[in-house]
Structure 1
Amino acid sequence: MKVTNYISEAFTELKVNVTWPEWAEVQRLTVIVAVFSILFALLTFGIDRGFEVLVARIYEFLNK
C-alpha cells in the first residue's frame, strides 16, 4: 500500500508542482549537451591517443 501511495504522490508532484521547460528550450539545451559531449569525447580520444604514442616512443627508445 505504501509503494502505490508513494508512486501516486510522485506523479501528482510531477504534474502539479514541477515547472517544465518550453520545448524550444529543451531542444536548445539538448543540442548544447550533445555538442559538449562530442567535444569532450574527442578531447579524451586525443589525449588517450597522445599518451599511446608517447608510451610507444618511450618503449621504442628503451629497447634500442
Structure 2
Amino acid sequence: MTKVVNYISEAFEELRSNVTWPEWAEVQRLTIVVAVFSVLFALATWGVDEMFANLLEKFFTWIKA
C-alpha cells in the first residue's frame, strides 16, 4: 500500500513541478476548436448514416418489386 501512496504522491509532484500548463486563453481557444470539429464530425457521420439508410431502403424496395 505504501508503494501506491508513494506513486500517487510522486505523480502529483510531477504535475506540479515539471508540467508546462497552457494559458487560459489558449485553453479556451482549443476547446472551441475541439467543439466545432466534434459537431462537424457528428454531422458528417449522421449524413453518411442517412445516405446508407436511403440506399439500403431503395435496394430492398428494388428487390421486392
TM-score range, shorter chain: over 0.9
**Counterpart AA for 1:22:** E
Alignment partners' CA distance in 1, 2:6 and 2:62: 68
Q: TM-score, normalised by structure 1?
A: 0.99
Paired positions, count: 64
Structure 1 residue runs of 4+, over 6 Å off? Answer: none
- Superposed displacement of residue 36, structure 1: 0.2
Alignment partners' CA distance in 2, 1:41 and 1:4: 41
* 1:31-64 residue CA offsets vs partner (Å, 9 max, x unmatched): 0000000000000000000000000000001101
Structure 1 residue 54 corresponds to structure 2 residue 55: yes
Identity of aligned residues (%): 61
**Counterpart AA for 1:42:** L
Structure 1 residue 10 corresponds to structure 2 residue 17: no
Alignment partners' CA distance in 1, 2:60 and 2:10: 61
Q: TM-score, normalised by structure 2?
A: 0.97
For 2:41, the equivalent position in structure 1 comes to 40
For structure 2, the residue ranges without an aligned partner over 5 or more in a row are none
CA-atom RMSD, angstroms? Answer: 0.3
